[in-house]
Amino acid sequence: MGDYDTSAFEDIRAYHDEEVRPALDRLIEDDEFISAIIDLRIKKRSKLMKALAYPFVRQRMRRILRGIHDVYGVQTLVRDFMRRMIARSTAGFTVSGLDGLDREKTYLFISNHRDIVLDPAMVSYSLYNNGYKTVRIAIGDNLQSKDFITDLMKLNKSFIVKRSVKGPREMLANFKTLSAYISKSLNEDQESVWIAQGEGRAKDGKDITQPAIIKMITMSKGRQESFEEFINGLHIVPVSISYEYDPCDGAKARELYLRERDGSYKKGPQEDFQSITKGITGYKGKIHLHFGEVIAGSYSNPTEVAQEIDRQIISNYKSYQSNQDAYDMMYQGAAMSADTPVGQRILDMPEEHRSFALAMYANVIQLKNELEKNQELSKS
């Protein structure tokens, strides 16, 4: 490891300390950023109210951001934002498993993926609050639709996964660069990394690791290094993120319905940003985060590693009554009823979307049952 062409990282890497202040100054002057802040804070707004709010919000952002000059300052600001978000839009946030980690080591955290921004934010928030360094975050280039979003993400230690590249040769080159950047982060920069277990969110509630993600990560493996040695050297930690309710469940159900009906689905230009906003402001009920055990052992291929990540993520996922109620409705013949909170949420959706939303919650229990069954079979 360590034989990198670092110039290849320039268009994907997170911002360095010296880039923080210029990026913050750009944000303050960006009308779209100020508009996004207003949209987050003012629920019912007229065009006049919004126009009047611009100078006041911009001045407030100047005051909030004026003392920040490095990445650590940004992380402190994000921590404070997360505290307010948890207080306003959840019924509580709990964490387990951190006692199995060493504050002096770096880790590759691989988690299930339900929310575009909150999943890695919750991981970093938990680490920060318990004396660990926060993570560098892998995000798709689909989130670069706005300059201010790119600045926000890179300020918060995010680096870019170029999913939009189509040619096989370009894809291979990009994956190699991404793998090298992850290795450099872990081994040279001493920065832990977060990456989702698959491309995009698990909109159907099935948290399954794509072996292709593991294969991509291993592209920076040295020629003299075995697959097993490389995997053990990454210190992979599976992370289970459990939400009692998904603020974007209706939008996800709609997308799944349209995909099934039409054979494909094309996102609108503002759809990812709308999902980010809804995920932050919408009610999530209880949230639990579990850090699993460091993956260490004899692994010979990406599929075996993916299976171990799945085993930990699924077994450590905290299922809520919302999941059990949905499972009973979907698999046990219980009636769709407004007597349960999740039932009411689903009944409020268009009828053709309901089965997809139901599965989103029910599949948590279904995957746990399948895992337990397979473990029993392997013992017999």
At 156-210, the pLDDT tens digits run 999 999 888 788 888 899 999 999 999 999 999 999 999 999 988 999 999 999 9
Residue 339, CA distances (Å) to 122, 314, 330, 342 in order:
31, 28, 16, 9
Whether 314 is in a domain gets the answer yes
Answer yes or no: is pLDDT of 269 > 90.
no
Task: Supply the CATH number for residue 181's domain.
Answer: 3.40.1130
pLDDT at 164: 80
Task: Tell me the C-alpha distance between 369 and 75, whole Å.
Answer: 39
Q: What is the total count of domains within the chain? A: 1
Answer yes or no: is pLDDT of 8 > 90.
no
Report CA 130 to chain centroid distance, whole Å.
Answer: 20
Residue 106: which domain range?
6-245+283-318
Whether 138 is in a domain gets the answer yes
Whether 348 is in a domain gets the answer no
Give the residue among 34, 37, 50, 133 at the shortest CA–CA distance from 81.
37
pLDDT at 39: 77
Average per-residue pLDDT in the chain?
92
Q: Dig out the tokens for 227 from the structure.
A: 């697959």
Whether 341 is in a domain gets the answer no
Question: Which phi-psi region, left, alpha or beta, contains residue 297 (left: φ > 0; alpha: ψ -120 to 50)?
Answer: left
Whether 11 is in a domain gets the answer yes
> Tens of pLDDT along 223-266?
889 999 999 999 999 999 999 999 999 999 999 999 999 999 99
**Residue 287 neighbours by CB under 8 Å, 6+ apart:** 86, 90, 92, 93, 94, 122, 241, 242, 243, 244
Q: What DSSP element (H or E) covers 125?
A: helix 118-129
Whether 369 is in a domain gets the answer no
Whether 10 is in a domain gets the answer yes
> Which residue type, as a one-letter code, is found at position 237?
V
pLDDT at 50: 75
Whether 105 is in a domain gets the answer yes
**Pairing of β 93-96 and β 108-111:** unpaired
**Residue 68: pLDDT band with limits 50, 70, 90:** very high
DSSP state of 197: S
> Tens of pLDDT along 359-377?
999 999 999 999 999 888 8
Query: With contact defined as beta carbons under 8 Å apart, do 138 and 217 qualify?
Result: no
Q: What are phi and psi of 162, to 5 degrees?
A: -85, 90
